[in-house]
C-alpha cells in the first residue's frame, strides 16, 4: 500500500471550482470516505482530503470534516517526520476553526511546510507559521499487520527493515529516519520496545517472539490492551 505522501502528491493541483460548478474529484473524496452530506467544494475540505489520503493509505482517520478533529487521532509526536499529520489553528486558538495537512518539513524556525487540500483552494504544498501550530500526530494502520517470517537484526538492510522502522515509530519509539539500514538507533529502539514485555529477551533482535508481540500490539489483541492504552 502506498504511503500517505505519495497518495497526496498525486493529487497536487486538484482545485475547487469557482461559482456553482464543483470539481468532481473533490466530491469523489467525499464519496470514497462516506461523507454523504458533503455536496459542494465551497465547503471546507482540508480535513476531507486528509481523511481520503489516510483511507487510501490504510491508516486511521478522524471521520470528521473538522480540522481539529485530528488532534484526537493517532499518537502525539514532538519530533515529526514527513507523513505525520500537522494541525493549525485559524483566527482564534480557542475557536473550532483550524487547518490540517501532511507535514513535509520545516522552513527555518518559524515556518512549517505541509501538503494538504484547500490550501489556496487546491491541493498544494504551502508553509504556515509555527505560531499557529496545535500539534503533530502520527497515524497508525487500521488494517491487520503481518510481518514476513524472517529474523532481522543489526546489519540487516532492505524493505523489511523499513517496515520495522516505520512500525517502531508508529508505536512511539525513535528510530530516526526509516532508511532501511538496521543500525544502532534501530537496535536501541527495538530493545526499548522489547522492554515493555517482561517475557521478551531484550537483545535488539527482531525474532519470532518479538514479531508476534509487535503484531499483537498493532492489531489490538486483548492481552496487550493495557499496553496500547499506556503508550497510545
Choice among 6-15, 111-120, 218-227 with the minimum mean pLDDT: 218-227
Give the pLDDT score at 142. Answer: 81
Give the pLDDT score at 1. Answer: 61
Work out the burial of residue 186: count CB atoms within 10 Å of its CB; fewer than 13 is exposed, 13-18 middle, 19 or more buried. Answer: buried
Strands 124-129 and 111-116, how do they pair? antiparallel
Give the pLDDT score at 171. Answer: 79
User: Each residue of 115-146: pLDDT tens digit?
Assistant: 999 999 999 999 999 999 999 999 988 877 78
User: Each residue of 11-65: pLDDT tens digit?
Assistant: 999 999 887 889 999 999 999 999 999 999 889 999 999 999 999 998 999 999 9
Report the predicted TM-score, pTM, of the whole model to 2 decimal places: 0.73
Work out the burial of residue 77: count CB atoms within 10 Å of its CB; fewer than 13 is exposed, 13-18 middle, 19 or more buried. Answer: middle
Give the pLDDT score at 75. Answer: 86
Amino acid at each position: 500500500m502506498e504511503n500517505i505522501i505519495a497518495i497526496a502528491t498525486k493529487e497536487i493541483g486538484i482545485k475547487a471550482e469557482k461559482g456553482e460548478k464543483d470539481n468532481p474529484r473533490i466530491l469523489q473524496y467525499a464519496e470514497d470516505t462516506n461523507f454523504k452530506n458533503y455536496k459542494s467544494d465551497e465547503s471546507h475540505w482540508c480535513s476531507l482530503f486528509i481523511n481520503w489520503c489516510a483511507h487510501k493509505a490504510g491508516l486511521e482517520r478522524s471521520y470528521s470534516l473538522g480540522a481539529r478533529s485530528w488532534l484526537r487521532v493517532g499518537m502525539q509526536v514532538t519530533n515529526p517526520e514527513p507523513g505525520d499529520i500537522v494541525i493549525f489553528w485559524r483566527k482564534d486558538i480557542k475557536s473550532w476553526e483550524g487547518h490540517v495537512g501532511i507535514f513535509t518539513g520545516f522552513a527555518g524556525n518559524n515556518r512549517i511546510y505541509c501538503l494538504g487540500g484547500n490550501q489556496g483552494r487546491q491541493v498544494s504544498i504551502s508553509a504556515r507559521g509555527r505560531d499557529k501550530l496545535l500539534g503533530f500526530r502520527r497515524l497508525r494502520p487500521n488494517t491487520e499487520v503481518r510481518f514476513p517470517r524472517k529474523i532481522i537484526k543489526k546489519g540487516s538492510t532492505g524493505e523489511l527493515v523499513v517496515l520495522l522502522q516505520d512500525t517502531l515509530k508508529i508505536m512511539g519509539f525513535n528510530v530516526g529516519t526509516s532508511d532501511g539500514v538496521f543500525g544502532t538507533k534501530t537496535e536501541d529502539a527495538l530493545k526499548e520496545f522489547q522492554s515493555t514485555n517482561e517475557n521478551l529477551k531484550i537483545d535488539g533482535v527482531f525474532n519470532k517472539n518479538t514479531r508476534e508481540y509487535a503484531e499483537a500490539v498493532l492489531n489490538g489483541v486483548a492481552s496487550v490492551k493495557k499496553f496500547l492504552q499506556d503508550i497510545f
